[in-house]
Amino acid sequence: MARRKSNVKQGGEEKGLRQETKDSIVAVGALVLAALFAFAAYGSAGKIGDFAYRFFSLLLGKGYFLLPVSLVLIGSALLFSVRQRFLSLPLIGAALFLLSNLALADIIFGTRTGGLVGSYGAAPVVYLFDSSASIIIFSALLLVSLLVIFNASLRWNFPRKETDGVMIAKKEVPSAAVLPLDEEEIEEIVETQEDHKEPEKPQMKNVSPEIMKELKRKAPDYILPPLSLLDGDRGKPSAGDIKGNGNIIQRTLAEFGIPVEMGEVNVGPSVTQYTLKPAQGIKLSRIVALQNDLALALAAHPLRIEAPIPGKSFVGIEVPNKSIALVGLRKLLEEDEYQKGGPLIFTLGKNVAGRAMYADLARMPHLLIAGSTGSGKSVSIHSILLSLFYKNTPLSLRLLMIDPKRVELAHYQDMPHLLTPVITESREAISALRWTVKEMEERYRILQKARVRDVVSYNSSHPSEFMPYIVVIIDELADLMSAYGRDVEASIVRIAQMARAVGIHLIVSTQRPSVEVITGLIKANITSRIAFQVASQIDSRTILDGGGAEKLLGNGDMLFLAGDAGKPKRIQGAFVSEAEVKKVTDFILKQDSEPVYNEEIVAAHANGANGGFDGDDDDELYDAAYTVVREAQKASTSFLQRRLKVGYARAARLMDMLEERGIVGPGEGAKPRDVLIGREEKNEHYIS
């Protein structure tokens, strides 16, 4: 054991230079060489300078001066280009720069003007294309060489139309790289279209004429918020000594009899992934079992091992970065994948390789979010909501927000997308969920009558009766489950099972990932899940059916399990500040002085007794239960089981409904419940 520690320490001391340091050294060398070659042309660089001048004059002819110019370009690119990725790029660009200039000089000013390089470089092209075409070719090559040296682009930021009323300029977003670098922020160009003929605005189905009229009145003036309201990425990730860490991993595994070949290194916003390929015959479980030993050797905690990486024959070891970068929402929304995505696409963040990750709620079709306090759940919900606001008008998306904690979704109060004010009371939340179930059933009847399969087909064939998407957000499921567990679970399961085709989707969040809150039925029907940092592996298994979430770093570090994926993906979630949320909501609220609510949802709660509901849609045996209890003048769950020949669960639910509607009193242990109405009396909340 002592010998192994000594070897590990030795491996850690083999620190290599950072890539930025190497680039700076090469840049200084290139600039010094440029100065020496310039002095050599005037005989001021000694004997070596004279020899170099004669040699390169033979090669380059009168284009000798281009040699120091090329070296200056290389040094400038390495020192000042924020987009540089590889050292070889400026070297290749400089070679193309020299060749194209010398060839042009040879073609335009005569043979050997560009030296041997220009003469032999131009000859085959002139032979094949003639002089005029060759000038065009080498001019293009000259331009390409400058683009390669500075890794630049000729693309102009012409604005393009994204949605009605808004034009957003194109902006290049850096692709993922092994060592991603920060980009300079580019001001977003946002213009409001004028003199634009709006198409006929569709009306919403199944809402009152007053709501329809109000929304149609406001829709033509609605403008989607500009991306300039959001912030970009902040900070730069630092992985520390990448080479030294790779040596430590390789040495540590070798000392346990596991030879491996190190692969690429991916530096993400919060973790760095070291990939390795074990030798043939090595079981992956042996590598996973050494997780604590690797964490000790690297002095890094927590450390996560992904064995294997999905789609690759490598094992990934994820080590926390020395310093992390905040992933801004703005750059994620500028990506083409989001801009070209569907109306319910939203951002997740960036994976361990720095690539932007997205998900589509229409395909999920529901999402469960869980994690401990302060792990990033609320910020994730804000990120999802802003993603939806940047894609949808109040005509295309309606929201039901349930916030038992009262403060998490307060920013969205009075938003025009809301079907009701933000719901904070548990009884009102139950009413909203039951209304959602009824709305789902009504939409299915409409689709059946129209002979279409889903809401997309219906909206395509019936544009004048547009059916908007409805997204129900529950910020804290645990509070609802503790008060109305059976009702909440039944409604969520019913919606999750059937609502996809009619455009109704659930986003459910909880900070208490226990089996009492995330029940088996809820998990079985909400297959897409996000797990933030949790306290134990048991909580992780409750969310993801596997461990891993207990090893996350917090602050937006998540594991995303798609419904069609076998293993979760590690993602650093997008950070959205309270100031950004306020700027976006203020921009939207300025366009609509008053929200347009659906009063039916509130009325369902107001008209009920003790949170009950009018009508007998909840159970077809309610009439029979009411009659049996009123005539027998006694009430208990076992009594209903015997008389109605039903199971305990259904009898208990019928008894709860009778209590909610004022038919029977509350239970008092083993005593029978009091019947609150006489044999001949009719209860005002009973509808036959």
pLDDT score for 179: 38
User: Lowest mean pLDDT: which of 54-63, 409-418, 498-507?
Assistant: 54-63
Q: Is the pLDDT of residue 497 over 50?
A: yes
Band of pLDDT at residue 397, cut at 50, 70 and 90: very high
Average pLDDT, integer, range 630-655: 82
Least confident of 96-110, 131-145, 147-161, 519-533: 147-161
Structure-token pair, residue 360: 């589509």
Which of 22-26, 142-146, 445-449 holds the top average pLDDT? Answer: 445-449
The predicted-structure confidence for 32-56, as pLDDT tens digits, reads as follows 888 888 888 888 888 888 888 888 8
What is the tens place of the pLDDT at every residue in 191-213?
333 333 333 333 344 444 444 45
Examine the domain organization and report whether 613 and 505 are in the same domain.
no
Give me the pLDDT at residue 615, please.
39
Going by pLDDT thresholds of 50, 70 and 90, the confidence category of residue 654 is: confident
Confidence of residue 371 (pLDDT cuts 50, 70, 90): very high
End of a domain among 566, 600, 634? 600
pLDDT tens track for 256-302: 999 999 989 988 899 999 999 999 888 999 999 999 999 999 988 88
Looking at the fold, whether 480 and 562 belong to one and the same domain comes out as yes
Is position 177 within any domain? no
**DSSP structure string for 344-373:** TEEEEEEETTS-EEEEETTTS--EEEE--T
Residue 101: inside a domain: yes
Q: Are residues 475 and 594 in the same domain?
A: yes
The answer on pLDDT for 668 being more than 60 is yes
Is there a single domain that holds both residue 366 and residue 463?
A: yes
Per the CB < 8 A criterion, the answer to whether 452 and 484 are in contact is no
- Report whether 522 contacts 478 (CB < 8 A): no
- 300 and 337 share one domain: no
Higher pLDDT, 533 or 199: 533
Cα–Cα distance measured from residue 441 to residue 55, given in angstroms and rounded to the nearest whole number: 86
As a whole number, mean pLDDT of residues 525-533 equals 93
Is 421 found in the same domain as 491? yes
Tell me the average pLDDT of the chain.
79
Q: What is the CA radius of gyration of the chain?
A: 34
Q: Which pLDDT belongs to residue 175?
A: 34
Q: Has 375 been labeled as part of a binding site?
A: yes
Backbone phi, psi, residue 504, to 5°: -115, 130
Strands 190-191 and 203-204: unpaired
And the tokens for 439? 């709305």
pLDDT digits (tens, 9 = 90+) for 105-119: 888 887 667 788 878
Residue 592: per-residue pLDDT: 63
Read off the pLDDT of each residue in 53-63 and give the average, rounded to a whole number: 83
Q: Is 281 left (phi over 0), alpha (psi -120 to 50) or beta?
A: left
Query: Around 335, how many Cα atoms within 13 Å sit in the side-chain half-sphere?
Result: 23
- HSE, CB side, 13 Å, CA atoms: give it for residue 673: 23
Give the domain range for residue 683: 609-688
Q: What is the pTM of this model?
A: 0.61
Domain count, the chain: 4
* pLDDT of the residue at 669: 65
509 annotated binding-site participant: no
Residue bearing the bigger pLDDT, 687 or 16: 16
Region 151-168: mean pLDDT is: 46
- The answer to whether position 234 is within a domain reads no
In a domain, 91, yes or no: yes
Q: What is the mean pLDDT of residues 48-66?
A: 83
Nearest to 346 by CA among 361, 364, 331: 361
Q: Residue 371, annotated ligand binder?
A: yes
Question: Per-residue pLDDT averaged across 365-394, rounded?
Answer: 92
Among all chains, which residue has been given the structure tokens 């009063």? Answer: 599
Q: Where are the alpha helices (DSSP H) in 164-280?
A: 209-218, 242-255
The verdict on whether residue 63 carries a ligand-binding annotation is: no
| 687 pLDDT above the threshold of 80 | no
Q: What percent of the chain has pLDDT over 70?
A: 81
My answer on whether 624 and 483 are in the same domain is no
CA dist., res. 544 & res. 513, Å (int): 10
Residue 221 lies in a domain: no
Residues 313 and 336 in one domain: no
The predicted pLDDT at position 37 comes to: 85
When mean pLDDT is compared across 317-321, 524-528, 614-618, the lowest value belongs to: 614-618
CA angle 429, 433, 434 (to 5 degrees): 115
Q: What is the mean pLDDT of residues 364-372?
A: 92
Query: Distance between alpha carbon 530 and the CA centroid of its chain, in Å?
Result: 11
**Is it the case that residue 187 has pLDDT exceeding 50?**
no
Helix (H, G, I), strand (E, B) or coil at 640: helix
Alpha-helical segments (H) within 110-241: 115-150, 209-218
Q: Is the pLDDT of residue 239 over 60?
A: yes
Q: What is the pLDDT of residues 453-483, one digit of tens each?
A: 989 998 888 887 888 999 999 998 988 888 7
Same domain for 682 and 646? yes
**Domain termination site, one of 579, 600, 621:** 600
How sure is the predictor about 337, in pLDDT bands with cuts at 50, 70 and 90?
A: very high
Which residues, other chains included, contact 150 with Cβ-Cβ below 8 Å and sequence gap of 6+?
77, 81, 83, 93
Within-domain flag for 188: no
* Residues 368 and 469 both lie in one domain: yes
Same domain assignment for residues 372 and 508: yes
Confidence of residue 168 (pLDDT cuts 50, 70, 90): very low
pLDDT digits (tens, 9 = 90+) for 17-29: 666 777 788 888 8
Q: Look up residue 220 and give its DSSP letter.
A: G
**What digits encode the pLDDT tens for the residues 78-113?**
777 544 445 567 778 788 888 888 888 888 887 667
Pair 344, 266 in one domain: no
Please say which residue of 320, 349, 376 terminates a domain. 320
Q: What is the pLDDT of residues 554-589, one digit of tens each?
A: 889 999 998 888 789 999 999 999 999 999 999 988
Decide if 25 is inside a domain.
yes
pLDDT, position 133:
84
Residue 146 maps to a domain: yes
